[in-house]
Each structure stands twice: as C-alpha cells, then as structure tokens.
C-alpha cells in the first residue's frame, strides 16, 4: 500500500517506522548523485557571471531536508505520481506506462528539456501542458487542473526521473521569438513597486530581504516543496506569487506569457542539475 492510500495516522506511523529503521542503520540511504549546483564560467553571452542553484542559498537544515529522500516532504508527491503513472484512465483505458513504459528510461531527460516546441500547437509547451495533452489525446481523459494534487504529483514524479541531468532547453529556431518574449518579461518593471525579476534575482542575489536570502531564481528544482506553502507547487505558482509581491496583476498559470518566462528562466539555469523535488523556504 502506498502512503497516499493511508490515512494520516497510518501514514505518520509508516514514515516513523522508516525513520526508525534508518536510525538503526537498516534503512535505504538516499541515492548519492553528482549534482551540478554552481557554474563559475557560464557560456559566452549568458547574462550571469556565475550560475548558482537556489540550493546554495538555503540554510544547512533546509539543504539536509532536501538531500535525504526519506526526509524530503516532496517525495510524498513523487510517490503519488508513481502510482498515477500505472493508473489507467479515460475512454481509451490507458495509463502513462502503456505508452511510455519504464519512466526511468523514457523520462530520464524530459525534466531537463521543457518547455519544448509543439508542432501541432505552433508554440512551446511546458511539462504540465504536455501531460494534459497526453491525457486528452491519448487517454481520452479529462485534463488535470494545473495546481491539482494529481498534476503536482505527476510533474514531481516525471521531473525526478531526470535528477542529476543538466538543464538544456532549446532557444533557437521556432523557440526564439518565445525566448525573446520571456527575456523581455524578465527585465520589464511591473506593478506598483515598479520592479522586474532581474531587480531581485540578477542585481541583488546573495543579499537578504527580511529573513530570507535572495537567490538567482533558478527553476531546476521545480516542482518544489516550499516550507511557506507546506506543499509542493509549480513554477507558475511561484511566478504568480512574485508578481503579487510587486503588486502587479499576475498572468494566468499556464498562459503563453508564463510559459515564455519559464523558457527564459530555464535557459538562465543551463547546465545546472535537475534536483526536483527541491525544498525551499
């Protein structure tokens, strides 16, 4: 039985039992992986003098929480996604596994490559949009809402298959106009506070704002478990929150604007390892 199917009391007991086994040295240690979290010499033309994962800006306690797959609360969503992978749905009676087989093989780079160009739609789509296209076209099932437990679980599960793989998104060819649109949005001042993404995440990273430290705003760890949210959330939710903080009217999650911004911000993290599900403040 997966943790998702247990009641809260049984789930807590199950997690506690696992932790007890770990204490006794009988648990399975988190998989050791070589993670690229800092690039001191970005490629020519990159806007940053150094590329640094948000992990490096977190407190040691938060880093430790992310590093251990048993402690990392985001793995509750990963486990739910694993169950959904094998769950047949829709009029076609298909599951993700029916088309894609072993996710460790079929999805091993997917989490590092989105947003990607979709020829049929004539625009880039992110991982969430790709999942919903699979559901509506191949499974003949209803699409999931973007911040639903199902979508967050599936994106967490898929992205986790690419853990350790360097981020590399396409920005040329048909993607170029959307890349430029995302870049323009990144540097456009918005809202009553008249601020752009770059004001925090390019001009002032490494400085403190209240009790938090500003990072470069890299997205290689999304979907991310935020301590503030007490759950996993998408990058579009984070974009929306940032726009609200500068008192701007946010774009709609899943919109072309946020997808273009996601493409540009993913490019800024080129070469960083996918580390979803990350843990952030």
Question: Catalytic positions, please?
Answer: 242
- 39 membership: H or E segment, kind and range: strand 38-39
Strand partners of residue 166: 273
- Please say whether the beta carbons of 104 and 53 come within 8 A: no
Residues with Cβ < 8 Å from 201, sequence gap 6 or more?
214, 215, 216, 217
Q: Residue 126's closest CA among 90, 164, 158? A: 158
Give dist(CA 259, CA 113) in Å, integer: 13
Helix axes 75-85, 149-160, angle to 10 degrees: 90
- DSSP letter (8 states) at residue 138: I
Q: How far is CA 146 from CA 115, 149, 210, 248, 255, in A?
A: 15, 9, 30, 21, 11
């Amino acid at each position: 039985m997966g943790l998702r199917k247990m009641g809260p009391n049984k789930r807590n007991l199950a997690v506690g039992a696992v932790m007890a086994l770990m204490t006794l040295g009988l648990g399975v240690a988190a998989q050791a992986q070589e993670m690229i979290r800092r690039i001191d010499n970005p490629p020519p033309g990159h806007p940053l003098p150094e590329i640094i994962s948000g992990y490096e800006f977190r407190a040691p306690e938060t880093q430790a929480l992310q590093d251990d797959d048993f402690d990392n609360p985001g793995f509750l969503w990963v486990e739910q996604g694993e169950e959904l992978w094998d769950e047949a749905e829709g009029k076609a009676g298909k599951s993700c596994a029916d088309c894609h087989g072993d996710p460790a093989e079929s999805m091993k780079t997917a989490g590092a490559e989105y947003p990607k160009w979709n020829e049929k739609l004539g625009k880039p789509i992110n991982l969430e949009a790709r999942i919903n296209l699979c559901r509506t076209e191949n499974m003949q099932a209803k699409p999931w809402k973007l911040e639903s437990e199902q979508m967050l679980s599936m994106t967490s599960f898929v992205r986790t298959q690419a853990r350790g793989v360097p981020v590399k998104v396409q920005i040329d060819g048909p993607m170029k106009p959307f890349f430029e649109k995302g870049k323009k949005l990144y540097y456009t001042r918005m809202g009553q506070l008249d601020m752009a993404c770059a004001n925090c995440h390019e001009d002032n990273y490494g400085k403190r704002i209240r009790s938090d430290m500003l990072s470069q705003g890299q997205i290689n760890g999304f979907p991310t478990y935020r301590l503030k949210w007490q759950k996993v959330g998408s990058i579009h939710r984070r974009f929306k929150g940032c726009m609200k903080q500068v008192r701007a009217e946010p774009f709609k999650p899943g919109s072309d604007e946020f997808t273009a911004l996601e493409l540009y911000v993913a490019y800024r993290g080129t070469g960083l390892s996918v580390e979803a599900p990350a843990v952030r403040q």
